[in-house]
């Protein structure tokens, strides 16, 4: 009980970050390095924060007591955020996906910046301070797991099936060789935009729940920093299977807090616990730099599964 009240927030954040990693992974399936996820994440968060503080008010006005905001409203906001993200992704997907590689990455960074600057200047997004007092459907942060875990499982299952479907194989073909894929009759534009839209929908939905989860939403949520962080999930976790970004998101979100917890263990020498506390972000940064040297493909690679599959086959024969 005590464990969940202290670390419940962290556990659910890990799930959310894993989904953000996944949302960046989907466009990557077609070979598109798009850093746009945080932009849609921010958009989804604003939709939920604005709706829940201005439209979904309790009967007779006033404020929702903590823990009484109906979950159905959260679900409605999540769906709306997903739809809005899909629409926006369609609009910007067609022109921007004509760019490739680093140029696409730059264009998506520009999109994230535009969202940030707009929300800093618009009245409706609360300008620099943002929107606060977002009503709570749960009293305990850990209870958000009933929203986060099913969404993660559903999106992971979706991507797992996608990788094995006709569309998924078209994605992979595009990633490996766009020219050859096009010659085989795979439409590059449609498939790339589809992957881009799917990633955007997931990021938007995660944003909508996160606005409730964080109590507040502001222009600092979907920024370039977040883009880079989410990219790190994919690089550390592995970019060739959907499990990679999920693992990366879980691990990298937990790490700073795990170091904080280790520093709090009784009986550690003072200098060590002080170093773990003050230097935990240094350790974090070092790991991000060092990990790719030892795992250039990320922690999880498809070979990991192949080798086991081959072994079991050999054992059977």
Selected binder of another protein within 82, 141, 208, 242 (CB under 8 A): 141
Q: Measure the N-to-C terminal CA separation of the chain; round to a whole number of Å.
A: 50
Selected binder of another protein within 71, 72, 114, 128 (CB under 8 A): 128
Q: Does 277 bind another protein (CB under 8 A)?
A: yes
* Residues from 182 through 241 that contact another protein (CB under 8 A): 214-216, 218-221
Apex CA 233: angle with CA 272 and CA 255, to 5°? Answer: 20
> What mask of x and - would describe binding to another protein in positions 56 to 95, judged by CB under 8 A?
----------x-------------x--xx-----------
Stretch that binds another protein, among 101-109, 136-144, 156-164, 308-316 (CB under 8 A): 136-144
Minimum CB–partner distance for residue 39 and another protein (Å): 17
**Closest of 257, 227, 244 to residue 11, by C-alpha:** 257
Half-sphere exposure of 181 (CA within 13 A, CB side): 22
Contact 241, 160 (CB under 8 A): no
Stretch that binds another protein, among 93-101, 124-132, 151-159, 287-295 (CB under 8 A): 124-132
Q: Compare residues 30 and 221 and give the one whose CB is closer to another protein.
A: 221
Task: Give phi and psi for 247, each to the nearest 5.
Answer: -60, -45
Q: Compare residues 284 and 295 and give the one whose CB is closer to another protein.
A: 284
Burial (Cβ within 10 Å: 0-12, 13-18, ≥19) of residue 161: exposed
Q: Compare residues 6 and 165 and give the one whose CB is closer to another protein.
A: 6
Apex CA 296: angle with CA 292 and CA 301, to 5°? Answer: 120
DSSP state of 268: S
Apex CA 108: angle with CA 106 and CA 114, to 5°? Answer: 105
Selected binder of another protein within 257, 262, 275, 299 (CB under 8 A): 257
Minimum CB–partner distance for residue 88 and another protein (Å): 11
Q: Does 314 bind another protein (CB under 8 A)?
A: no
State how far the Cα of 277 lies from the Cα of 281, in Å rounded to an integer.
Answer: 9
Q: Compare residues 2 and 314 and give the one whose CB is closer to another protein.
A: 2
Take residue 102 and report the two structure tokens written for it.
Answer: 């680093």
Q: Which residues bind another protein (CB under 8 A)?
A: 2, 5-7, 9-10, 13, 50-51, 53-55, 66, 80, 83-84, 117, 120-121, 123-124, 126-133, 136, 139, 141, 214-216, 218-221, 257, 260, 264, 277-278, 280-281
């Amino acid at each position: 009980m005590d464990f969940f009240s202290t670390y419940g927030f962290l556990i659910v954040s890990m799930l959310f970050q894993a989904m953000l990693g996944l949302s960046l992974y989907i466009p990557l399936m077609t070979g598109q390095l798009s850093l746009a996820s945080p932009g849609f994440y921010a958009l989804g968060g604003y939709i939920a924060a604005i709706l829940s503080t201005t439209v979904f008010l309790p009967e007779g006005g006033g404020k929702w007591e903590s823990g009484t905001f109906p979950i159905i409203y959260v679900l409605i906001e999540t769906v709306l955020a997903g739809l809005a993200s899909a629409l926006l992704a369609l609009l910007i997907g067609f022109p921007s996906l004509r760019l490739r590689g680093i140029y696409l990455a730059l264009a998506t960074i520009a999109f994230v910046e535009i969202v940030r600057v707009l929300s800093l200047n618009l009245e409706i997004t609360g300008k620099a301070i943002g929107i606060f007092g977002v009503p709570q459907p749960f009293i305990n942060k850990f209870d958000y797991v009933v929203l986060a875990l099913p969404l993660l499982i559903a999106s992971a299952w979706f991507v797992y099936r996608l990788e094995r479907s006709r569309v998924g194989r078209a994605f992979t073909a595009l990633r490996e060789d766009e020219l050859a894929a096009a010659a085989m009759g795979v439409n590059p534009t449609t498939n790339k935009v589809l992957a881009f839209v799917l990633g955007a929908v997931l990021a938007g939905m995660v944003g909508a729940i996160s606005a409730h989860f964080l109590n507040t939403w502001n222009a600092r949520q979907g920024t370039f920093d977040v883009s880079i962080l989410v990219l790190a999930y994919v690089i550390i976790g592995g970019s060739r299977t959907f499990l990679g970004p999920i693992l990366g998101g879980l691990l990298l979100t937990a790490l700073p807090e795990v170091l904080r917890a280790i520093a709090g263990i009784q009986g550690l020498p003072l200098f060590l616990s002080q170093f773990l506390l003050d230097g935990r972000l240094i350790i974090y940064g070092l790991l991000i730099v060092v990990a790719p040297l030892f795992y250039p493909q990320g922690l999880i690679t498809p070979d990991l599964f192949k080798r086991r599959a081959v072994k079991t086959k050999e054992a059977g024969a």
